Each structure stands twice: as C-alpha cells, then as structure tokens.
Amino acid sequence: MARNEPLDFENEDDPLLPAPRPAKRSKVIGMDDLLLDYFQSGKKDKLKVKAAKSKHGPKGGYDSGEEDDRATQQEITVCKIFEEVQQKGKVMDARDDVPPWGQQFFRCQLILASSSCFCVGEGFLEGMLLDGWLLNLVRICGFVEDSVASWTLTNLLHSPNEKLQVSAADFWDGILSLDEAGEPLVNLGYFPSYSVLKRAMLSYGYLFDTSGTKASISGSTAAGGPDDSLPHNIIAWLRVVSACCKIRKVHSIFSPSEAEELLAIAISLFLDRRLEGLLLVLGDCLNSLILYFNTSEWETSCVMVAESIAQRVTLDLNCLRVVDCITGTNKRSKILRSQVALQLLKISFGLKVANVEKILKLVTSINVKEKECDFFRLYVYLVLMDNLLFSSDAFRDKTGMVDAWRNYLRNCSTQIGCTDWRFYAPKARNKASYLLQGSILKKSSGDGKSCVR
C-alpha cells in the first residue's frame, strides 16, 4: 500500500456522525399531469405526422391528419349544440320550483288559567291519575262524578305537564270504552262538549274558517317563535275526539254540524308539516269522525265538509295532499275523497254548481301543444279528476265519461314529447301515463277493488 493512500478504516463512515439525509423524493405525478402530458404529446405527434405527410406524402393521397381534424371539428360542433340546448332548457324552465305542500293553521296561543275544581287534595288526585289508580277506581265504582270528569278533561286539554296529558287521555279512553255487548263501562253525566273542544282549539291558536281567509303557507312566518310553536295538547285533543266518536251508538255527543266542523279540522291538520309525526293519531281521529255520521246524515255532511275544505286549501300541491290524506278504504272515505276533488275543481274553474260533465270537458279541452300551456295546473287537474272519477263507484258506469278521460290521458302521455322541457311538462306526461295504466287495470278488474290508490 502506498504511503499517501488513505487507510481502509478511513474510507468507512464515521458512526458518530449523523447519517446523510435521503435524497428528496420526486413529486407524485397526479392524474391531471398525466392527462396534460398525454394531450400535449399527442398534439406534438399529430403536428409532426402532419408536417411529414405534407412534405413527403404524394399529392392527392389519403391524409389521416385531415380526417382527425374533421372529427375534432365535429366534436366541437356537437358540444356547442349541446350547450345551446342546455341553455334553452334553462331559459324555458326559468320559473322557480313549486314550493312543497304545507299550510299553517295555528297562530298565537293563549295561555289559559287551568283552574281546577279541587283546592284540597288536588295533588293526591294527580298522583292517582298518573299511576292509573283513578281509572281503576272509577271502573270498580261504575260511575264518574262530574267534578272529577271536568277536572281530568281540563288537564287533558290545557295542562303543560306531558305525563298528565297522556294519563288524562288514557283515563278518557277508558271511561268512553264499550264492553263486548256494546254497553258503556262507566256511567257518565259529563261529556266533552263541542264548545269545550272548540274553545281549546282557539286557545291553541287554530284559525277557524270564520274570516273567510285561507291559512298561510308554511314558512311565511319566522320559525321558532313562541307564537308559531305547536300546541302541546294537540295529541290529547285528537285522542279525546276520537274516543267521543266511537260511542255514537250509545250517546251522540256531537250534532251533525259540529261533527262536520271537527272533521274539517282533522283534515286540515294533515297540511301542517309540524304534525307529520302524528299521522297515526290523525288518521284514527279522521276515520272515527267519518264513521260518526248516520247513513242519512252522511250524504249531506260529506258535501258540506268537502266545500269547507276546498275553500280553505290553496290550489297547488296542498290540495293534492288533502286528497291523499283521506286514505280510508271504506265506502265513506272513498266518497269523501271524490267529493273533495270535485269541490276543488269547481272552485278552480269558478263554477257555481259542481257539474262533473262540464268539469271533465274543461279539463280535456286543455291543449298540451299550446306554447302557453300551464303544465303544473294540468298536473293538479289530472290528479284531482282521476280521484273524482275513480275514488268511488259513482262514475264507473258512466262509460262515455270514463272513455273520454282515458283518451285524454293517452293524448297527454303521447303528445307531450320526451324532449319537452317546459315547466312540469315531464311530470304531467309521466302522471298521465301512470293514471292511464291504472285506469286500464281498473277496467280489467271489473269493479276496481284490486287497485287501491
């Protein structure tokens, strides 16, 4: 080994020195970078090929570069056409979307002093009511004193204590029940009168149809305010009304006119979105009120209720919601659904008399090919007219009317083009096609009972 050469251990790394930092990794190449490089290289290659062919290629020969340019130009043209059509669609559908269904029927609530008939021992009675012992004691005795019945009803309708409301509602469900023989379990001298129930709804802020004005659309007032909060006792109110209707054969608590107003209230509550969680309670109350009337009373009362509802509901998606909420499969529910649709159409066309043939002629005279056709209103008319004709059996034998309606549905489903982007045109076309298929199934089934909508 030469004298000036370093020793072997001198070439080794010093273990006391820090290890050298690894080389900095190159930047991760993203998909965008790859695509950019690809298109740039593709353009360069095309330019090179085009230049070579233009310089060395034979005259009049096949030039693939020109074909690529033509394809690119066609692609650009198609994209421009698509953008133009898209812009036209936006212009044609420039109208704002239809607001969802929903009307508010409650406003400023009144704070009533829930005065009790009992000054001494009221806490004891509350404890018995909450524990269920008061109902057991009443069933053993077989009667209820008027003061006890009035006190429990006051707590049911106005108490802020939720547990007390539920217990009071359970108490009235129990004392208004019938045994297997159809006889009352408890003798009562005091019943929840219509005046008491109406006074309670007034305190809840319910807007009765006395001023002739419609309830406002949901969202028109500031949400969350104390005046717009939902009444806490509404569930108990619905339960006690339903219980009162179920003993009609034994005791008629409400007159026909009072039951009509209660039924209109129950239907209107389906339009308040804050009550969507109470559909089961609302449905039970609605069906109980529909079955409350005698057969001789129902024909007149049904029309009165339908007229009252039609005057209070706005002619948009709210009127369709009202028709859909009457879901009972019994004959009375079907007649009421058909009658509500009839009264809504009557008001919409400004008719003084609800003439079904004239209404059908007015609806079927709407020309979907006209430029100014209101497809949203047509959509509403399609749903209402179909409920009018097919909810009940009243018009199933009117073959002329039914055939005219089916022909119009067929025209709507075929004459409204698939590329027609006018406001609500696709929905009107799809609804007409759906209703047409339903009407064919009803015709093939004979009586239409197999097609419950």
The answer on pLDDT for 54 being more than 90 is no
Measured between its terminal Cα atoms, the distance across the chain in Å is 105
The domain spans of the chain are: 100-111+122-211+224-292
pLDDT for 444 beyond 60: no
Q: What is the pLDDT of residue 331?
A: 94
Q: DSSP per residue over 101-118, as a string?
A: S-EE-B-PPP------S-
Rounded to 5°, angle at Cα 98 from 92 and 99: 150
Neighbours of 162 (CB within 10 A): 12
pLDDT in tens, 124-151: 889 999 999 999 999 999 999 999 999 9
Mean pLDDT across 414-443: 86
pLDDT tens for 58-80 read 544 545 556 666 667 776 776 77
Q: Report residue 335 as tokens.
A: 């007649």
pLDDT of residue 3: 56
Give the chain's mean pLDDT: 81
> Above pLDDT 70, what percent of the chain?
70
Looking at residue 393, its pLDDT comes to 86
- Residues 277-304 have pLDDT tens digits of 999 999 999 999 999 999 999 999 999 9
> In sequence order, which residues have a C-beta less than 8 Å from that of residue 425 and are 6 or more positions away?
368, 375, 416
pLDDT of residue 451: 36
Q: How far is CA 155 from CA 9, 30, 61, in A?
A: 99, 70, 99
Q: Label residue 438 by pLDDT band (50, 70, 90).
A: confident
Place of tokens 């360069």: 44
Residue 65's pLDDT is what?
59
Instruction: Give per-residue pLDDT as tens, 374-401.
Output: 999 999 999 999 999 999 888 888 899 9
Query: CB–CB of 374/421 below 8 Å?
Result: no
Tell whether the model's pLDDT for residue 271 goes beyond 90.
Answer: yes
Tell me, what's the pLDDT at 94?
43
24-34 pLDDT, tens digit per residue, is: 455 555 556 65
Average pLDDT over residues 92-106: 73
Stated pTM of the model: 0.75
User: What is the per-residue pLDDT for 11?
Assistant: 55
Specify whether the CB–CB gap between 205 and 108 falls below 8 A: yes
- Split at pLDDT 50, 70, 90, the class of 313 is very high
DSSP 124-153: HHHHHHHHTHHHHHHHHHTB--HHHHHHHH
| Averaged pLDDT for residues 344-373 | 94
pLDDT at 179: 87
Confidence of residue 431 (pLDDT cuts 50, 70, 90): very high
pLDDT of 81 strictly over 80: no
Q: Which of 62, 86, 104 is CA-nearest to residue 217?
A: 104
DSSP character at residue 187: B
User: Higher model confidence: residue 81 or residue 309?
Assistant: 309
Kindly report which listed range (41-50, 332-341, 439-448) carries the lowest average pLDDT score. Answer: 41-50
Distances in Å between the Cα of 346 and the Cα atoms of 178, 215, 356, 405 are 42, 20, 9, 17
Tokens of 211: 């001023």
Q: Is the dihedral of CA 353, 358, 364, 370 positive or negative?
A: negative
Pick the more confident residue, 227 or 14. Answer: 14
Residue-level pLDDT at 309 = 96
Q: Count each helix (H run) and each strand (E run) in the chain, helices first.
A: 17, 2
